[in-house]
Amino acid sequence: MSAPPNIQLLTTGGLVLATLFLGVRASSSVSGALGQESTSVTSASAALAGGTPSGEGGQALDGATENLVRDPFAFPTPKRRPAPPRRHAPKKPEPVPTLRALLYDTVAPGVRIMVKGTRSDWLQKGDAFLGWSVVDITPDSATLNDGKRTVVVRSIQEH
């Protein structure tokens, strides 16, 4: 059975009125929110352009730019990390001469050394080769000095 036409008309009219009421209410809320945002945007852009932001009544809006923290739809800008401190590579120690040959006698002992891949001729006490001077020669070692440091190079003796 269907309802009488008067009740059906009243129900339909009530639904239409409720829908209109809710629509107008939602529209005014959205308009208010958009109106506030557009005022903030307008006043902020005016402030950035060097003008005076004005709201209602031509009064300046204080803190209008505070509403514009960031664009919610923009990708966040990555924070720059400070560059790590540059570590200097440890200095390689200068190569130490190696003893290539040692000839020891009481009259004129001599040594042959190698510095940075270059072999010397026979050196005696007081001679120099590539910045290294022979300070002393013993039966199993030679003492060399380059002006900064003193190095004792030993011969390898097999047993």
* pLDDT tens string 99-154: 888 888 888 899 999 988 899 999 999 999 998 999 999 999 999 999 888 999 98
* Domain count along the chain: 2
pLDDT at 1 over 90: no
CATH assignment of the domain containing 113:
2.30.30
Residue 41 lies in a domain: yes
Instruction: Kindly report, residue by residue over 42-56, the tens digit of the pLDDT.
Output: 554 555 555 555 444
The whole-angstrom separation of Cα 124 and Cα 105 is: 11
Residue 52 lies in a domain: yes
Asked which of 67, 89, 106 is the last residue of a domain, the reply is: 67
Q: Same structural domain for residues 105 and 52?
A: no
Residue 58 is predicted with a pLDDT of 47
Range of the domain at 9: 5-67
Residue 74 lies in a domain: no
Residue 136 is predicted with a pLDDT of 93
Mean pLDDT of the residues in the chain: 77
What average pLDDT does this structure show over 84-98?
82
Residue 55 lies in a domain: yes
CA angle 93, 95, 101 (to 5 degrees): 150
Residue 76 lies in a domain: no
Do residues 147 and 93 lie in contact, with contact meaning Cβ atoms separated by under 8 Å? no
Q: Same structural domain for residues 12 and 53?
A: yes
Residue 46 C-alpha from the chain's centroid: 37
What average pLDDT does this structure show over 30-44?
57
Partners of residue 128 on adjacent β-strands = 133
